[in-house]
Structure formats: structure tokens, C-alpha cells
Structure 1
Amino acid sequence: MSGFDTDTPEGADPERKIVSHNDEGYSGLRPLERLTSDSRLDRIHGETLAKTELQYYSAFTREFCRSDYNFCAAKMTLARGGKLLALDAEFRVAEAFFKKALAWANQLHGRNAAISSESVTLEIKHPLSGRLVRLLTMYDALFVKTMEALFTRSVMPHQRKLALDSAEARIKQIPFLCIPDNDRYAPEGLLLPTPDNAH
């Protein structure tokens, strides 16, 4: 068992494919040439017009940036009312999780790993997009810290896998909440049942 709460969030798919994080040495990740949902995000005029260069080490962060980041950024820019409250609440839970996870990882004795990073430029058109970038940065810090701890055997592979799986599940909740439209959320932030499922 790892030294912090690794509960899988409600609604996460326990059977989802898990990316292996056991590679040592350089990352082996290719730079991202293009992100999905580029055109969707380009059409939106957000509250902020900032860009950030994200340095990443993990396959999970790479794939999330390619497949989910622009979708989430576009949806968060258009979110209103209860949907904003639901997203804010999920971010608070995820941020608390990563704070505990990194506190645990920082106590592990590790040895520097020679891992090369890649980078991708991300657009931030809403404050929630900035919080999502921060979560991805925290995930990668956990990825690197636990890899370094593997080299000194201060963490076991199954402990590292549990920590990373839990961290991935927390971040994957964000696109899950972004999918429904604004009118699918009650004013207090609860997701309403679909009309087909209402009895």
C-alpha cells in the first residue's frame, strides 16, 4: 500500500487500458505535432488569451494533451452555472489528492533518473484550463519522483502503479465532467439524469 489515499473516483472505468510507465532512461515520447480539437478551441474567444509550454515526461500526459486537453479547454471556456461548480469541485478534489501524493513521493529516497522531456504549447483561454495544466504538471512530478524511487527500491513497482493509476483516474474525471452540456447540470453542480433515464 502507498502512504496516501488512492481511491479510484466514482464513475472511473476500472477496466480502462493502463499505459506502462516502466521505461527507464530517456522518455521515448515523440513531440506532439498537433492536438485533437485544435479547430474547436481556435474558434472560441476565451476570458484569457495565454499560452504555456508544458514540459512532460510521461506517456499519460502526452496522450492526455493530444486527445483530451483541447476538448476540455473548449468545454470549460463555454461552461456556465452548475457545470462550472461541478468542475471546480472536481478540481479541488484532484488538487487535494495530488498534494497528498506528492508529499508522499517527496519523502521517498530516490536517485536521479536520466529522463528526457518533450514539450507542447497549450492555449489557456479560461482559468480552469490553467488548473488542468497544473494537474498535468503535478502528475508528471509524481511520475518522475516515483520512478527515481524505484531505482533505490524505496517504492515497489505495485505501489508506484497504484499511485499513478489513481492519479490518472483523478485527471480523467475532468473530461468526463466536460462532456454534458450546461443544461445537464443543476444550479448546485449536480449532474441531472438524461431525459431517457428519468422515471
Structure 2
Amino acid sequence: MSVTDMEVPEEKSKRTAPLTSDNARESGLRPLQRLTGDSRLARINGDTLAQTELPYHSRFAREFLRGDFNFAAAKMTVARGGKLLAIESEFRTAEAWFKKAMVWADALPKRQTVVYPEMVTLQIKHAMSGRLVRLLTIYDQLFLKTMGALLARAVSAESRQRALEAGEARISKIGYLCIPDNDCFAPEGVLLSGPSDHTEH
């Protein structure tokens, strides 16, 4: 991957509150007790009624799951028209980026290290929710693979951080597009106005 492939997109969603070290377990992350937006998602009758157990290792995955996943999943379920097109387009962009990133990460020499995951149960009520889970899973794999490469001195801390931040931005952009209402998008999937008035988490 080139340096430009690692660049962060211009628009990024607001991050959730930083993780503290209180009650940290072996993974270094606090287990998730509650996900923001779970009551909103519970009220929606989705296309599918499935749930999955997701292991996660990274702080970004934890913060996104805690603060953004259920909200985004609920919004995806009711997205229509231009908003649906915009979200689907951003998924394709993110999936293509992660495909290249994983080819890059797989080629790096690595040292084996044991990192214990935390687990969270997620409700999947729409196909795009499943796609979001897959992206978070791939991001976590990128996090672990580049950690092993860093230990093997096959990648610099700066290059690893740049790759992780670019991946984080790709996932955050999807959450960002979920915030505005359907009528904030043109039929062709262009966001007409910013989400500043629709930040209801």
C-alpha cells in the first residue's frame, strides 16, 4: 500500500469518550456493559433477527461498539433513498480499502503474541449491520497483524498508526452517514447538509 492509501478521509464522526483503565482485565479493555442506542434498536423490526458474539481486541472497536454500533444499526434499518445509496457506497469504499490493507498486513513479517479478546453480543437486524460487524472484525485483525509486525520491527509505529487511523476513519465515516435523516440526502446519494442538528445518540 502506498502512503496515500493510508490517509484519513476528510470527514470523521465524533469519537466517543476515551477509555479509562479502571477495572481493566487481561485484554486491557473494560468489558462492555451496555451499548448506546440499544433501546432504539430494540424498537425496530428488522429484515433479519439474528445475533452474533463478536470478539474484539482494540480500543477503537470497543469505543465504536459502545457508542456508535447500535445507533448506526438502527439508522441503517430505516435508511431509504439517497441515504441508503450513500451508506452502501461508503461500505464498498471501506471494504475495498480493508481488502488492500489486509494484503499489505499479511505480507509483513510478524512475531506471535497472545492478546485476549473481550466479547460482546450484537443484534443483527439488517444486512448492512452484518457488513459493519465484518468491517470491525477485519479492523481488529489489522490491529493484531500490525501489532505482530511492530514487535518484529517490520513496520514502524508511525506507519502502523497511520494504517489504523485510516481504517478507523473508513468505519467512522459509515457511522457519520447514518446520523442525518433520510431527507438530508439527494436521490443520487449526496449528503445535502451536515449532521450537526441530528446528533441524537
TM superposition score normalised by structure 1: 0.88
Structure 1 residues 16 and 84, CA gap change in structure 2 (3 angstroms): closer
Give the aligned partner of residue 166 of structure 1: 166
Aligned with 2:104: secondary structure? helix
Give the aligned partner of residue 69 of structure 1: 69
Amino acid in the other structure paired with 2:172: K
Give the aligned partner of residue 89 of structure 1: 89
Number of residue pairs matched by the alignment: 188
Mapped partners of 1:95, 1:135: distance in 2: 7
Which ranges of structure 2 fall in alignment gaps of 5 or more residues? 20-25, 195-201
Cα RMSD of the aligned pairs, angstroms, is 2.2
| Cα distance per residue 1:89-138 (max 9 Å; x no partner) | 00000000100001000000001111001110011101110000000001
Q: Does 1:175 align with 2:185?
A: no
Which ranges of structure 1 fall in alignment gaps of 5 or more residues? 21-25, 195-199
Mapped partners of 2:150, 2:37: distance in 1: 36
Aligned with 1:111: secondary structure? coil
Structure 1 residues 16 and 65, CA gap change in structure 2 (3 angstroms): closer
TM superposition score normalised by structure 2: 0.87
Mapped partners of 2:193, 2:33: distance in 1: 38
Give the aligned partner of residue 127 of structure 2: 127
| Cα distance per residue 1:24-47 (max 9 Å; x no partner) | xx5211221111111110001001
What is the Cα deviation at residue 81 of structure 1? 0.8
Mapped partners of 1:158, 1:134: distance in 2: 26
Amino acid in the other structure paired with 1:157: A
Give the aligned partner of residue 112 of structure 2: 112
Mapped partners of 2:15, 2:68: distance in 1: 15
Mapped partners of 1:162, 1:16: distance in 2: 17
CA contact (8 A) 1:76 1:84 kept: yes
Identity %: 60
Q: Which runs of 4+ in 1 moved over 6 A?
A: none
CA contact (8 A) 1:111 1:152 kept: yes
Give the aligned partner of residue 33 of structure 1: 33
Amino acid in the other structure paired with 1:137: T
Aligned with 1:105: secondary structure? helix
